[in-house]
Amino acid sequence: MAQYNQLTEELILQLQGAAPGHILTGDDINEDYSHDEMPIYGKKAPQVVFIAHSTEEVAAVVKICNENKIPVTPRGAGTGLAGGAVPLLGGVLIDLTKMNKILSYDLENFVVHVEAGVLLKDLAEDCAKQGLLYAPDPGEKLACLGGNVATNAGGMRAVKYGATRDYVRAMTVVLPTGEITKFGATVSKTSSGYSLLNLMIGSEGTLGIITELTLKTIVAPKEVASLIIPFENLDDCISAVPKFKMEHMNPQALEFMEREIVLCSERYIGKSVFPQVINGVTANAYLLVTLDASSEDELNDLIEQASEIVLEAGAIDVLVADTPSKIKDAWAARSSFLDAILAETKLLDECDVVVPINKIASYLAFANKVGEECGLTIKSFGHAGDGNLHIYQCSNDLDEEEFKIRVEKFFDIIYKEAIDCGGLVSGEHGIGSGKISYLEECVGKVNMELMKGIKKTFDPNSIMNPGKVCSPIDGVN
């Protein structure tokens, strides 16, 4: 394990000199900096918080930390779900949320240049004003784009348009040594050596700090509609999913959810959107599908085709949301799933495994069975179109120590099952500090050593976000 030093008064003065007025210490440090949205992975307060305002300031602070072997933790909005932004060793936490400017659009090359602290919601709204669409659509709209890139967030539209990785053209990065460099370019193709850009995407702040991004945009579709499709059981619901592709349809989003999570969310938002009983048949699973098209006639044809597909596959009914307000209502429940679970749950953990699409139903049945055996309440939903499942373990009765023991047993079993059926440990939330052991089981020792070698090359003193992805800390991970 790397050896680190403690921050002294002299070093804090150096940091204050490098970033005047932007260094917080002591009681000025908000408790929120000690954890992300999944506090079960632990809390640890940083000794210093640096509110970044420019790439040059970040470089100056990181250079001081590297020269003195002080651990550094980059942080955006803190909406992560794997402990990735928790400063496990204290040290310096770098808050990038004030670097939140949308710098420029290049409308001829369909890219936008932003600072890393811009919120996903703000970019989406600003792109819409330009007649553009920033296609990645992770569920947490108040996340920072730098964090989205650092975890390769996927989201609802990944089934058609791809994950965040597919929209990153270039970035400015502060390396752990304090050097500033740029990866990638505005162009859409490259065969120019190793892709350092793609190494940074999904690296969760362990290889450097992303401060600026050049992101691809596309022309916004002219017509959009969403379909709420209830099924009597999950098997029929999931079996309908491959039929969309087989019938040459390309939905913008293709989500599934089980009955319990829908009821939980509707209690939270105070509005019932998803039908519970249709013609005397109880809905126990749903698809939420979004279609887009270049004309109203084309969209109507797609709706008719999609309806035929799902009704033949066993859907109870098809409800069409084809106005902005109806679409907003249809997605309000889906977007509130995590908040709804948090509102009703004392203890919570989560995994976002990804499995082959044809394994979703059997895998969820397996996870529900294991959850019952472990004495945990399981609530599930996810991206049916790409096999990325969000499986929450919940309890209102257990103490935290017993809950963690049961969750660990649950994870040991279901991660092995995911790997055995051709899946991976995480589809979009990342590894952080909480899933390192499962990552090694998934990718194997050889690949894990390759990752550690990459980490060592970028970060020889291991100061950058220690204890995450491939660098466990004894006694912490």
Span 46-66, pLDDT tens digits:
999 999 999 999 999 999 999
* Cα 117–chain centre separation: 15
CATH of domain 345-429: 3.30.70.2740
Burial of 219 (0-12, 13-18, 19+ CB in 10 A): exposed
Task: Report the pLDDT value the prediction gives residue 475, as an integer from 0 to 100.
Answer: 75
Identify the CATH number of the domain defined by range 223-333: 3.30.70.2190
With residue 218 as reference, give the H or E element that holds it: strand 218-219
The two tokens of residue 448 are: 């894990």
Give pTM, 2 decimals: 0.95
Secondary structure of residue 248 in the 3-state scheme: coil
Q: Could you tell me the residue ranges of all domains in the chain? A: 9-97, 102-219, 223-333, 345-429
Numbers of helices and strands, H then E, in the chain? 15, 20
The domains spanning 223-333 and 345-429 adopt the same CATH topology: yes
Q: Which CATH number fits domain 102-219: 3.40.50.2300, 2.160.20.60, 3.30.465.10, 3.30.70.890?
A: 3.30.465.10
Q: What is the DSSP letter of 131?
A: T
Q: Please choose, from the candidates 181, 168, 170, 169, the residue with its C-alpha nearest in 3D space to the C-alpha of residue 207.
A: 181
In the CATH scheme, what is the code of domain 9-97? 3.30.43.10
Residues 6+ apart with CB under 8 A from 303: 225, 227, 291, 320, 322
What is the pLDDT at residue 1?
66
432 and 468 Cβ atoms separated by less than 8 Å? yes
Phi, psi values for residue 441, rounded to 5°:
-60, -35
The closest alpha carbon to 30, from 87, 71, 112, belongs to 87
CB 162 within 8 A of CB 428: no
Give the model's pLDDT for residue 273.
87
* Segments in the chain below pLDDT 70: 1
